Structure 1
Amino acid sequence: MKIAVVGSYGAGLTMRVPRSPVAGETLSGGTFDSGPGGKGSNQAIGAARLGADVALLTALGDDDFGRAARALWRAEGVRADHVVTTAAPTMVGFILVEPSGENRIVIAPGALDELGADAVEAFRGEIAAADVLVVSMEIPEEAVAAALRTARATGTRTLLNPAPARPLGDDLWPLIDVITPNQTEAPVLLGLDPGHGLTDEDLVRALRERTGAVAVLTRGGAGALIAREDTVTATPPSPVGSVVDTTGAGDAFTAALAVRLAAGDAPERAVRYAAAAGAHAVTVAGVVPALPTRDQLAARIGTAP
């Protein structure tokens, strides 16, 4: 299974707080931690832990955060030969986590703003050799578009994780084979007003009609909906004991989905596996520590996929 990932890397600076402050308020009593993050890096590491051969394209600064990233990828078996180093600082994300596990994130993109079409062209061979290309949207639209176009030109299946969500150009929709928004991201992609009144099934059908792709709407504790051809299938959530931190759940889900699609699974089976990965992730604090291994998921599911 070969997976190419075009996305972000950033240092995650996490504060666990009794509650989120309101405007102008200063709270004490938080605890601080820092670690690696960024959707592209998380998804690449998650896929590698599940047994895939993974190549990553992202951009870093020439700083301690960037050097730590390269050391991490070496340790995790993620190939990073094409990762770009820029004069701008490595991306930093500031994360507030409440006792419930819910999180709020603000990002300073830094080096990622310099990731463009030229870098994607240099990554073309990795995209062409992959079974699945995974693209997330913490990177410039130029890089997203170039990656999707390159995959289409080379015959590689595309999986777009549209986070953070923003409207897509009309020319990009047909380049998507699988799309995985959550309930908040789907209306943004579709250009809907906040009071749109559509059900989750309406949203996933609309995404299917817009793209012609397999549309997977993730719904947290309510599971997921899968729209393909003329059907919508509901996938129940994987059981979770105590929710500790939801920060890495979406990346664990995306990585596992890509791995099982690369292995040839039907979307429904791949989503069930991905849901188990997401469920595992919410029971562990942090992002990278929460990304499951193949053995951990086999133990959770009861059998190897």
Structure 2
Amino acid sequence: MKKMLVVGSINMDIVNKVEKHPLPGETVAGSGVSYIPGGKGANQAVAAAKAGGAVTMIGAVGSDVFAKELKESLKKYGVNTDYVITKNISSGLAFITLDSQGENTIILSGGANTELTKEDLAPYLNRLENYESLLLQNELHTNTNEWLIKEAEKRGVSIFWNPAPAYKVPKELLAKIDTLIVNETETEIITGLRIQDKETAEKAAKLLIEDGVRNVLITLGTNGSYFYGTNGETVYTDAYHVDAIDTTAAGDTFIGAYAQATMMNMSAKEALQFASAAAAISVTRFGAQQSSPTKEEIEAFLIKEKK
């Protein structure tokens, strides 16, 4: 089985449920607080593992009460945590407010994630060649991420990058990416082009291809997703319509499932349908990692949709 390495954030999500999000200066009553393991890196690692992958996670947790639970959650879902390190600081925290429509707002406190350095990762470089792909996000320090991208390219490892939170990425870095996965906001920050429809998504994807990215995948929320490959292949996939109760980790579920689908040698169209199904299932469940579906659940959903 092909192996995937995920290097990224590991957070504890502190989720407050409310009827509606407060306006500036407004106080609203909450209906419950939950502590749920999350973080873009960890969420995507779990999504890929539950979708059938052999996944290893490199990241950092703090020396606090959350660290043990964060690592155990990854292990429970089949992610190898042998290379998760501990920092003498708090673990990453995400303060999430979830309204009655399933929409969320998030405040992120990076904690141990922002302390993960090149020096921490250097001992693992000789192991990079044991993996077919590397999956990254942007919740680590920018310098750490960019250094890792360059090192992975030198070793011929296929790089999936979800640059969220986004910034204006240098063109020389984009040229090292095999698959760039971005939403509308991230696409606009990187390309300067506002995404309003499929046509503008295609224009932005072409700009990124011109900058050297091999494959571009733009997620469009409830409007589906758009793929553009170096070979000129384009695929637009509609989102599956379900009754959402929590959208917290839908994007991470999509990305992890998509990366794993490509590892299973699916075509772009098949991989997008697989990832879209995974995301659709996830929003019908509460939580982050626990909401990601298994490979069997995704396949059953797709069979049902085809009937």
Indicate whether the TM-score tops 0.5: yes
Q: By how many angstroms is 1:180 displaced?
A: 0.7
Q: By how many angstroms is 1:286 displaced?
A: 1.0
Q: By how many angstroms is 1:192 displaced?
A: 5.3
Q: Tell me the alpha carbon deviations over residues 39-90 of structure 1, each in whole angstroms, 9 at most, x when there is no partner.
A: 1111111111122111111111011111111222222221112212111100
* Aligned-partner Cα distance in 2 for 1:129–1:47: 17
Asked whether the 8 Å contact 1:276–1:297 carries over to 2, the reply is yes
Q: By how many angstroms is 1:191 displaced?
A: 4.3
Correspondences of 1:41-190 after superposition (within 5 Å): 41-190=42-191
Asked whether the 8 Å contact 2:16–2:30 carries over to 1, the reply is no
* Mapped pair 1:294 → 2:295: yes
Look up the match of 1:274.
Answer: 275
* Aligned-partner Cα distance in 1 for 2:29–2:68: 32
* Aligned-partner Cα distance in 1 for 2:280–2:248: 12
State, as a whole percentage, how many aligned pairs show the same letter.
Answer: 29
Which structure 2 segments of 5+ residues have no match? none
Q: By how many angstroms is 1:234 displaced?
A: 3.8
Which TM-score applies when normalising by structure 1? 0.93
* Partner-residue secondary structure (3-state), 1:180: strand
Asked whether the 8 Å contact 2:277–2:302 carries over to 1, the reply is yes
* Partner-residue secondary structure (3-state), 2:95: strand
Asked whether the 8 Å contact 2:133–2:157 carries over to 1, the reply is yes
Asked whether the 8 Å contact 2:129–2:157 carries over to 1, the reply is yes
* Aligned-partner Cα distance in 2 for 1:29–1:118: 42
Counterpart of 1:229, as a letter, is T
* Aligned-partner Cα distance in 2 for 1:203–1:175: 18
Q: By how many angstroms is 1:200 displaced?
A: 2.2
Q: Tell me the alpha carbon deviations over residues 162-213 of structure 1, each in whole angstroms, 9 at most, x when there is no partner.
A: 1111222333111110011001110112245899xx8222222222222332
* Aligned-partner Cα distance in 2 for 1:100–1:84: 37
Asked whether the 8 Å contact 2:13–2:94 carries over to 1, the reply is yes
- Kindly report structure 1 stretches of 4+ aligned residues shifted beyond 6 Å: none
- For the aligned residue pairs, the C-alpha RMSD in angstroms reads 1.9
Look up the match of 2:14.
Answer: 13
Counterpart of 2:74, as a letter, is W
* Partner-residue secondary structure (3-state), 1:148: helix
Q: By how many angstroms is 1:17 displaced?
A: 1.2
Equivalenced residue count is: 301
Asked whether the 8 Å contact 1:4–1:126 carries over to 2, the reply is no
Look up the match of 2:225.
Answer: 224
Q: By how many angstroms is 1:259 displaced?
A: 0.8
* Aligned-partner Cα distance in 2 for 1:235–1:280: 20
Which structure 1 segments of 5+ residues have no match? none
